[in-house]
Chains A and B, each alone.
Chain A
Amino acid sequence: MPKHKLERIVIAGATSGIAREVGRLLASRGARLFLVARDPAKLDAVAADLRARGAEGVHTAVADLASTTSHEQWWPEALAALGEPDGVLVAHGILGDAERARRDASHTTEILTTNFLSVAAMLAPISTWFEQRRSGVIAVIGSVAGDRGRQSNYVYGASKGGLDIFLQGLRNRLFHAGVDVVTIKPGFVDTPMTAHLPKTPLFASAESVASGIVGAMEAGRDVVYLPFIWRWILLVLKMIPEAVFKRLKT
């Protein structure tokens, strides 16, 4: 028996490659979904797809999730539409242009705001609601890039690393209310976000990562690397002393 039943779920960033596949899995089981995304045409296309695939109900809200205040609008709407959600999946984010972020303060700010500040902000009211309900699951898509800063993408890495610390604290707080906080750390996933990268054997399909996310949410796991192999890759990467690591071309 899964610890959490995922019958009513809110998905922020619902048009992202991974979230779409999570939505499909939940829809095929007849879940009720509340989807939040920025582009109305893409949001409608995803909602129609999930309805046809068997979702019992699909509600949508158009919102710019890069903003730190959009949840003031859509979170009450989600509660009104679903009644009592069983869980929330936060899936929005941008990879950004690492090269540009090195020099361009506004791009650095944009990456940190979208990937970290907006999530921390929306989780203030969301975590409080779940704390009072005293059950449920909050899952957030982080990244293996947040485990160690590397010259090739440290701004993105910092946004996901900050999220990692934030979620640790949140997990500690909500544990006492019976609410689980799941940090998802995917490696390379074959989605539009990575369309420009050459595909190595380390790339996982969005479908397999989505099925890992649903399993982790049901079980109320803490930190999940997807696929599993990344746990060991990062373990090794984290053990390298900083004095050595800083000399590496990573």
Chain B
Amino acid sequence: MRPSFQSWGRYPKAEHQVLQLEWLTDRIPQLGEGQSLLPYGLGRSYGDSCLNDGQTLLATWRLNRFIEFEAATGRLRAEAGVSLADILAIAAPRGWFLPVTPGTKHVTLGGAVANDVHGKSHHVSGSFGNHVDRFELLRSDGRRLLCSPEENPDYFAATVGGLGLTGLITWVELRLKRVPGPWIDVEELQFRGLDEFLALSRESEQTHEYIVAWVDCASKGKNLARGIFSRGNHSLSKAPWVRPKPGPRMPVDLPGFALNPLSVGLFNSLYFHKQFSPRKARTVSYEPFFYPLDAIEDWNRAYGKQGFLQWQCVVPFENARETMKEILTRISASGLASFLSVMKTMGAMPPVGMLSFPAPGVTLALDFPARHARLFPMLGELDEIVAEAGGRLYPAKDARMSGRHFRLFYPRHEEFKKYIDPAFSSSFWRRVMSA
């Protein structure tokens, strides 16, 4: 699967020279004065953190060989372009699973480290970097640094969540998780309002490994913050598992108006009422549970040519209730309904990266077509609300936060700068370091 060399949100657009890496022994190409590189995996970052407009991308998707898999212990070492889908294909049939997985399996190991990705298990497992034992970092001067919490711990901390700026991650070693099988016992519960959401979260954090909630962002008044809370555990079911067939793909860009406030509001309402009973339990395979959107290849084309913006924040628990209420009220009042809105609580396990996003509190992820003139001002207001509440935004999903906000959200950025490879840069980094 050849990547697109755009970002997943397809906003902003960028032009690149693309250089291809083939082998671990390859060197980093030397470019001329004033030129810069950025490693690019499968391009699933939404905004501009995977772009290097007018410059060079170093494509890692062919650096996709396994180096060693110990089926007895679950220790895995693989080249950085190996995707989480590749790992699941060899590990799941042998009773191993990813220790942390984001909502798509089409991300590379290097990308998972560089964005310190998280998932539905954050309250028990933390983020991806918490499960990485070591990796190799290739710098543009040819040095190969073995990085772990013990060796080059400063480069380790800078590179986990370091957005690909500290050099090229060539291979990664991580610990997989033992699971009884490919099945997940899922329970889905309707909730109405933030108090019910928070109560369900507190309860489920104790009993379930995976929690997440879908929120109806289009409703206001008494329906504000209604949604469906989903929680799951690995199932003991011994039912035989059949590898799913590849699903359909979005063959064309939908016209920009396809996802309008009316259709999105209708979808959200239907989704809320898709279950008539307030509680529903079933056992499903891990694919639809963790990767519902992977079932439609190129689903990002549903947003049309202009692409879409994601926006994800995390807000500390003490301010979470009031802040989320404020944010959801502003969105529903704006009429700019988000198609898919996801909310969950994050746990207390500290991330290992200097620029890691996860923090204890409530996280909310939204997406909007990049079409309405009033979208940008509204998101700017939401940023300010998050800043006042002591929260932060997720760089992997950002295409527009101000430099002032980034520097406020990530106080270790000054320390981080020392570890940036002088030959590396990105559209995101140039943006948040200016303005």
Residue positions of A touching B, CB distance < 8 A: 28, 41-42, 45-46, 48-49, 51-54, 190, 192, 195, 199, 205, 207
Contact = CB atoms under 8 A, between A and B. Distances in A.
Given A192-B22, A205-B2, 18 more contacts: A28-B90, A41-B23, A41-B25, A42-B25, A45-B23, A45-B65, A48-B66, A48-B67, A48-B68, A49-B65, A52-B67, A52-B69, A190-B2, A192-B20, A192-B62, A195-B22, A205-B1, A207-B1
B252 interface: no
Contacts of B68: 48, 52
Contacts of A49: 65-67
Interface string B327-363: 0000000000000000000000000000000000000
A199 B5 CA distance: 13
A45 B22 contact: no
B24 interface: yes
B203 to A, nearest CB: 40
B65 A46 contact: yes
A49 B23 CA distance: 12
B66 A52 contact: yes
Contacts of B89: 28
In this complex, the interface size class of chain B, counting residues with CB under 8 Å from chain A, is 10 to 19
B227 to A, nearest CB: 39
Interface of B: 1-2, 20, 22-25, 62, 65-69, 78, 89-90
Nearest to B20: A195
Nearest to B19: A195
Contacts of B20: 192, 195
B23 A53 contact: no
A40 to B, nearest CB: 11
A190 B78 CA distance: 22
A49 B63 CA distance: 11
Contacts of A205: 1-2
Nearest to B86: A53
A34 B66 CA distance: 18
Contacts of A48: 65-68
Contacts of B24: 41, 45
Contacts of A46: 65
Report the 10 A-B pairs with minimum CB-CB distance, sorted nearest first: A52-B66, A49-B65, A52-B69, A49-B66, A192-B22, A195-B20, A48-B67, A45-B65, A41-B25, A53-B90
A41 B2 CA distance: 25
A110 B173 CA distance: 41
A9 B338 CA distance: 53
Nearest to A52: B66
A54 B66 CA distance: 11
Contacts of A28: 89-90
B23 A42 contact: yes
B68 to A, nearest CB: 6
Contacts of A51: 66
A62 B181 CA distance: 40
